[in-house]
Structure 1
Amino acid sequence: MFENLSERLSRTLKNISGRGRLTDDNIKDTLREVRMALLEADVALPVVRDFVKRVKERAVGTEVSKSLTPGQEFIKIVQAELEAVMGESNEDLNLSCQPPAVILMAGLQGAGKTTSVGKLGKLLKERQKKKVLVVSADVYRPAAIKQLETLASDIGIDFFPSSADQKPVDIAKAALEHGKLKFYDVVIVDTAGRLHVDEEMMGEIKDVHQIINPVETLFVVDAMTGQDAANTAKAFDEALPLTGVILTKVDGDARGGAALSVRHLTGKPIKFLGVGEKTDALEPFHPDRVASRILGMGDVLSLIEDLERNVDKEKAEQLAKKFKEKKGFDLEDFRGQLQQMKNMGGMMGMLDKLPGMSQLPENVKDQVDDKMFVQMEAIINSMTPGERQRPDIIKGSRKKRIAMGSGTQVQDVNRLLKQFTQMQKMMKKMQKGGMKNMMRNMKGMMPGGGMFPGR
């Protein structure tokens, strides 16, 4: 996410961070680089102009804090202005109304609207404990209604049935009535998308909007369309009173132009980011955290939230108890760790949120391959409970059987066992000498040191 922009800005700002004093010349040179980085990230020109102008005004003749160098102060200004461009703080959904609170989803075809309906439903159910009903008023796209029904069933939220021979207005009206009757907290209405903005589509969605009077009208847009995303949102906002934007496919967007352009061009906040294909890959949008990630400073707060949500506390306590009682670390425990890592978006998802990770060399990033963890889990799954508890019994014929069962090679099984042995040694040293020993031994687990061997 934002790799290209992050890399370019980090490199540019690194040159100025050590400067003892800021002059018109070095500010001018740095801002030229910042401007180019933003334009290459497909940020809209008016946004770039305004951003550079504001940074320049604040940087020239700025009062420098005693605890910061002038260069650091400049980076602080850039970060503050990035936050301002994106909206300064997270804007939550406004659901404080007589239930059910109605959320209308609008957007172009292929932006990920139906998937976002499911993700948002899951988020409201799990994090805000809301009783959610979803309905599809998309009567044009083949299988759109079935897609949402399947998604709702997988997630465990209620689906209101509709069919292609009904009018979207009638579907929305009936769903709202049902929501009132059955005491739902939230009703999410999925609408039809088009390949482009057209009058017929706008007229239809206006009618639906008028009938259900939603508290939130969210525009779903693909981040990979760059500044076009902001322009399309602007066109929709002129027809509908949008309350916010969901930016999808952010994980596939290395530029970040949409995230930096939407607020400035539409005046509407980005409320959520779609960061993957899984149903829980929807994150509330925090401008301060995104600005921090863009500048290569990581996003530790989001990482902590991920840990709190996804780490199985019971399993963590069991492992801690095992450590206390000086019991061994076996392959069952190792598999548990791999699963927890997968729940948090994999190794790259975690590294992305750690400070300084944008400066990792490319060859190291390439070695941190999440597919490898999937393979490792498959190998452990092919073992018997006895083999997981006592890996030392895994010899020749057992290795062949495990490799065949997991669709891998014997050398892959050997590699996993070697990595597990390294981890086991580290765990033993941790038990003896605590955190200091662990940190010393972590070197061997990091890229290049054995845990992620070069291919």
Structure 2
Amino acid sequence: MFDSLSDKLQAALADVRGRGTLTEDDVSAAMREIRLALLEADVNFKVARAFVERIRERAVQAEVLESLTPGQTIVSIVNEELTALLGGEQRKLRYQSQPPTVVMLLGLQGSGKTTTAAKLALAVRKEGHRPLMVAADTYRPAAAQQLERLGKDNQVPVAMPDGKAKPPELCKRGVDEAKRLNCDVVILDTAGRLQIDQTMLDELKEIRRRVTVHDTVLVVDAMTGQEAVNVAKAFEEAVGVDGVILTKLDGDARGGAALSMRESIGKPIMYSGIGEKVSEFEAFAPDRMASRILGMGDILTLIERAQEHVDEKRAEEMVERSLAGKLTMQDWLDQMRQLRNMGPLEGVLGMMPGGKKLLAQAQQQGGAIPGEQDIKRMEAIVLSMTTQERRHPEVIKGSRRKRIAAGSGTSISDVNKLLKGFEQMQSVMKMLGGGKGTKGVRGKARMLKQLRNIDTSQLPL
């Protein structure tokens, strides 16, 4: 979502970042570019103006302009102000000492509320809690059945509607059911409408009257831009909102909703949906998001994902074998599956400092970072190999390549590319591990030359 904004902000700061001296005119020029980048990202114009003015006031102070690294200081100021704009500190659910903690989700139809209920349930379970979901949407056809299916798929209990009970009564029964089942978090999936209407608002108020709600969380579609902010304002004025969950943050919207939300309604973004899978959901950390937008990476989130999805002991073993040039095709297949669990490869690289620049350079040089379809194709090729072929790919000659291509639904050319790329990667990893011929200036020059000559589109990475 933030790719375009990130590129523009980094370009605006590029002129000041490396300068040893700066004038107020230099700062003003950078601020104009930043303001334009925010407006193009669909940020509310009042929010954009106030944000830029805060940076300008701090940036033109004498101690900044006369410091040893004024450019770096201004980048630091932008990072701090962007973090504040996104909410400052991370806001978490308020778990109660006397359970259950009741979280009410509200929002318009189509915002992804029911799926978000399941995502939130898994998130709180990872924190050691026992969630129960309440199907309180009796208006949208099959809404309750959708939540029930999500609950069964993810082993989360669901309190289903029974009879002709109204949503407020269903919510009250759900809290009672949670106590009976010893669940300490209750997630109320309330009804939405295509647009805000008084009947819906009255129903939400009645739920809050009948049930003690500890966190009222609004689910909004980030793809709707400024309309998401307008929806949030309406719910805040009519019902009251404690926090926001932004869905579809993996989409191609410009990011205006995320950047305008806190300043416009005074409420923090608590979580973000970053994909369709129930696992693609994360706590919204303003400092990490600001760092990501400014191209500084997000190593903490990357480490957390790796700890969650990667078998550390097996990863260490594979690194050792890689550096010894003994990696097998089966090892590579296992690595790919673990890496894919962390999200799209471009997204993972984007969390590394300089990762976006690496992606851009690869594209400029004619190489390509493998996409999801490329990885699936390579996976199909490996799965069409025998156990012996995966362990010893050097035995794969003409007839074997033809059989593997037919079995994987690919071409012989695809098989050849994968095998060639795998061979190149083995050679490079062996050199990086201190193999023969890498010592001394000539050896290192030879290794760098080989690295430059590799076609990244062929690497099985």
- Relative to the length of structure 1, the TM-score reads 0.92
Shift, 1:150, TM fit:
1.4
Aligned to 1:315: 314
Residue 63 of structure 1 aligns to a residue whose secondary structure is: helix
Letter in 1 for 2:407: G
Distance 1:65 1:154 in 2: 58
Aligned to 1:49: 49
Shift, 1:285, TM fit:
0.9
Residue 245 of structure 2 aligns to a residue whose secondary structure is: strand
Residue pairs, 1:408-427, within 5 angstroms: 408-427=410-429
Shift, 1:242, TM fit:
1.4
After superposition, give the CA deviation of every residue in 1:21-69 in whole Å (9 maximum; x if it has no partner): 3322222221111111100000011211211111111112242399851
Deviating more after overlay: 63-72 vs 106-115: 63-72
Distance 2:401 2:390 in 1: 12
Residue ranges of structure 1 left out of the alignment (5+ in a row): none
Residue ranges of structure 2 left out of the alignment (5+ in a row): none
Shift, 1:200, TM fit:
0.8
Aligned to 2:349: 351
Distance 2:448 2:130 in 1: 44
Matched, 1:35 2:35: yes
Aligned to 1:16: 16
Aligned to 1:89: 89
| Residues 1:385 and 1:195: Cα distance change in structure 2 (over 3 Å) | same
Aligned to 1:373: 375
> CA contact under 8 A between 1:444 and 1:451: conserved in structure 2?
no
| Residues 1:382 and 1:11: Cα distance change in structure 2 (over 3 Å) | same
Shift, 1:338, TM fit:
0.7
Residue 246 of structure 1 aligns to a residue whose secondary structure is: strand
Matched, 1:59 2:66: no
Deviating more after overlay: 296-305 vs 311-320: 311-320
Distance 2:198 2:361 in 1: 47
Aligned to 1:169: 168
Distance 2:183 2:159 in 1: 12
Distance 1:405 1:160 in 2: 46
Distance 1:328 1:78 in 2: 46
Distance 1:287 1:113 in 2: 22
Q: What's the Cα RMSD here?
A: 2.7
Letter in 2 for 1:115: T
Distance 2:376 2:41 in 1: 32
Aligned to 2:409: 407
> CA contact under 8 A between 1:139 and 1:163: conserved in structure 2?
no
| Residues 1:327 and 1:42: Cα distance change in structure 2 (over 3 Å) | closer
After superposition, give the CA deviation of every residue in 1:337-378 in whole Å (9 maximum; x if it has no partner): 111110111311111112223344387188222321121112
- Relative to the length of structure 2, the TM-score reads 0.91
> CA contact under 8 A between 1:7 and 1:358: conserved in structure 2?
no
Identity across the alignment (%): 46
Deviating more after overlay: 202-211 vs 311-320: 311-320
Deviating more after overlay: 146-155 vs 393-402: 393-402
Aligned to 2:391: 389
| Residues 1:89 and 1:440: Cα distance change in structure 2 (over 3 Å) | farther
Matched residues, number: 451
After superposition, give the CA deviation of every residue in 1:261-288 in whole Å (9 maximum; x if it has no partner): 0000111110111111121111111111
Aligned to 1:451: 456
Aligned to 2:75: 75
Letter in 1 for 2:454: G
Residue 64 of structure 2 aligns to a residue whose secondary structure is: coil
Aligned to 2:430: 428
Distance 1:86 1:60 in 2: 23
Letter in 1 for 2:330: E
| Residues 1:171 and 1:444: Cα distance change in structure 2 (over 3 Å) | farther
| Residues 1:416 and 1:241: Cα distance change in structure 2 (over 3 Å) | same
Aligned to 1:237: 236
> CA contact under 8 A between 2:105 and 2:218: conserved in structure 1?
yes
Shift, 1:164, TM fit:
8.2
Shift, 1:442, TM fit:
8.7
Distance 2:447 2:339 in 1: 20
Distance 1:439 1:137 in 2: 66
After superposition, give the CA deviation of every residue in 1:236-282 in whole Å (9 maximum; x if it has no partner): 11122211101111111452111110000111110111111121111
Aligned to 2:158: 159
> CA contact under 8 A between 1:108 and 1:221: conserved in structure 2?
yes
Residue 382 of structure 2 aligns to a residue whose secondary structure is: helix
| Residues 1:332 and 1:66: Cα distance change in structure 2 (over 3 Å) | farther
> CA contact under 8 A between 2:114 and 2:147: conserved in structure 1?
yes
Residue pairs, 1:210-249, within 5 angstroms: 210-249=209-248
Distance 2:114 2:317 in 1: 39
Shift, 1:445, TM fit:
6.9
Shift, 1:225, TM fit:
1.2
Distance 2:325 2:2 in 1: 43
Letter in 1 for 2:423: T
Shift, 1:165, TM fit:
4.2
